[in-house]
Chain A
């Protein structure tokens, strides 16, 4: 039994009020959104929980083609959103649908999934691939970080105590862009062995720009730059796709996973990257894969 020092739970309804409490070192306060992490592993030395659920951060909007999602939006709202369904070939929807079960998705928030990128967190991979921006509100300033920079370190370790991730912005998705996400698990909502998100823009057969991002290999998502370089600026071909997927599997950094060998994960990475590229770069018909 932990949280023995807990004195109070506050429910601010303004972001500034939440930041005031969190940045006061004497308060020993931590923010709680969906709260799953706290229920799993209640911390010690916390005197105040700052519950974020009354903040006006539960929204999904479209502005000038960009999708703005508030940090306290539950993942289940992404699943039921028409905006999310129609954005970027449905890549965010595909990701959200594979985050835990329906019961979990009603609790997990977008902000929580981003700030605590456990090896099983999913949104980070897609955020980096799409070039999303993360909004961080501090006491007297507002920061806007590209997702790639945000996930270059563990966010919960570099964010100041009074910092609050308030929003994620997914940029407008170009008409000539394609995107796809694949998560490999043993059961429907098991932790992924690997997940791969690829976003590219094409002019005819030429791949203009591309982001290949692999999650689940380590805590933070990895952008596979060398593999991207093979395809960028060239017409898509099976030979290049094979070469890029081979390189992605070699370039990938891996944390130890008791469920399988390193070789298995590298093979999996190669197959996943190749499969997605065949689908969105070479327009090959790939059979839809369903668990049940």
Chain B
């Protein structure tokens, strides 16, 4: 069955099998930043933004993603020009093995897009579906707080201009 969806701003037309998940499709198309973890919506390493909301791509049938706008972490920044969140994760040491990091960053981005000044509890709630087995979460929360401060500062500067 053919579907058309937008992945990282690019329109993609692709044949999918009935039971293929969005996760499988994205990895088949080369978006390897979207990881396979538990396969049952418990770990969050397969997180993508679908129409702006973070979701587990392992829980979505690809055939039902027709017309959706999908964003993976690849769309956020580059090595030369990383996203504010990516920089914050590096600076606070919020990354160890890195397997959970793409999902963490996307869930954090969705939070900061709708709430640029989240409390610690709101950050914990937004990231409650993204598990990390290395860092212990403290630095991850610090990274989101740091990014939030920088995004607010940037907005303040641009509004003054």
A interface, CB within 8 angstroms of B: 1-9, 11, 32, 35-36, 38-40, 42, 49, 51, 74, 76, 97, 100-104, 106-107, 188-189, 292
Min CB distance B92 to A, Å, is 20
Determine whether the beta carbon of A292 is less than 8 Å from that of B64. Answer: no
The answer, yes or no, to whether B140 is at the interface (CB within 8 Å) is: no
Q: A103-B107, A189-B128, A292-B124 are in contact. Are A51 and B56 (CB under 8 A)?
A: no
Q: Which of B21, B61, B63, B130 contacts A103 (CB 8 A)?
A: B130
CA distance A32 to B64 in the complex (A): 9
The answer, yes or no, to whether B40 is at the interface (CB within 8 Å) is: yes
Which of B28-36, B47-55, B83-91, B147-155 binds A?
B47-55
Q: Which residues of A contact B19 (CB under 8 A)?
A: 1-4, 42
Determine whether the beta carbon of A102 is less than 8 Å from that of B125. Answer: yes
User: A97-B125, A103-B47, A106-B55 are known contacts; what are 6 more A-B pairs with Cβ within 8 Å?
Assistant: A1-B19, A39-B21, A49-B63, A76-B53, A102-B107, A107-B59
CA distance A6 to B129 in the complex (A): 31
Q: Which residues of B contact A49 (CB under 8 A)?
A: 61, 63-64
B interface, CB within 8 angstroms of A: 1, 17-19, 21, 40-42, 44, 47, 50, 53-56, 58-61, 63-64, 66-67, 107, 124-130
Determine whether the beta carbon of A9 is less than 8 Å from that of B63. Answer: yes
Q: Which residues of A contact B58 (CB under 8 A)?
A: 39
Q: Which residues of A contact B17 (CB under 8 A)?
A: 1, 3
Determine whether the beta carbon of A35 is less than 8 Å from that of B59. Answer: yes
Determine whether the beta carbon of B64 is less than 8 Å from that of A103. Answer: no
Q: Which residues of B contact A7 (CB under 8 A)?
A: 1
Q: Which of A8, A38, A103 contacts B54 (CB 8 A)?
A: A103
Min CB distance A84 to B, Å, is 15
Q: Which residues of B contact A1 (CB under 8 A)?
A: 17-19
Min CB distance A243 to B, Å, is 38
CA distance A100 to B58 in the complex (A): 15
Q: Which of A2, A32, A103 contacts B55 (CB 8 A)?
A: A103
Determine whether the beta carbon of A104 is less than 8 Å from that of B56. Answer: yes
Determine whether the beta carbon of A40 is less than 8 Å from that of B59. Answer: yes
Q: Which 4 residue pairs spanning A and B have beta carbons closest together?
A: A101-B129, A3-B18, A103-B129, A6-B18
Min CB distance A289 to B, Å, is 15
Q: Which residues of A contact B130 (CB under 8 A)?
A: 101, 103
Q: Which residues of A contact B1 (CB under 8 A)?
A: 6-9
Q: Which of A36, A40, A51, A106 contacts B53 (CB 8 A)?
A: A106
Determine whether the beta carbon of A42 is less than 8 Å from that of B44. Answer: no
CA distance A32 to B60 in the complex (A): 11
Determine whether the beta carbon of B107 is less than 8 Å from that of A36. Answer: no
Closest residue to A36 on the B side, CB-wise?
A: B59
Q: Which residues of A contact B60 (CB under 8 A)?
A: 35, 39, 107
Determine whether the beta carbon of B128 is less than 8 Å from that of A101. Answer: yes
Closest residue to B67 on the A side, CB-wise?
A: A11
Determine whether the beta carbon of A42 is less than 8 Å from that of B56. Answer: no
Determine whether the beta carbon of B59 is less than 8 Å from that of A2. Answer: no
CA distance A74 to B129 in the complex (A): 16
Determine whether the beta carbon of A188 is less than 8 Å from that of B128. Answer: yes
Min CB distance B56 to A, Å, is 5
Q: Which of A5, A32, A51, A102 contacts B126 (CB 8 A)?
A: A102
Q: Which residues of B contact A8 (CB under 8 A)?
A: 1
Q: Which of A3, A103, A188 contacts B56 (CB 8 A)?
A: A103
Min CB distance B37 to A, Å, is 12
Min CB distance A64 to B, Å, is 31
Q: Which residues of B contact A103 (CB under 8 A)?
A: 41, 44, 47, 54-56, 107, 129-130
Q: A1-B19, A8-B1, A106-B54 are in contact. Are A40 and B40 (CB under 8 A)?
A: yes
Q: Which residues of B contact A107 (CB under 8 A)?
A: 55-56, 59-60
Q: Which residues of A contact B128 (CB under 8 A)?
A: 101-102, 188-189
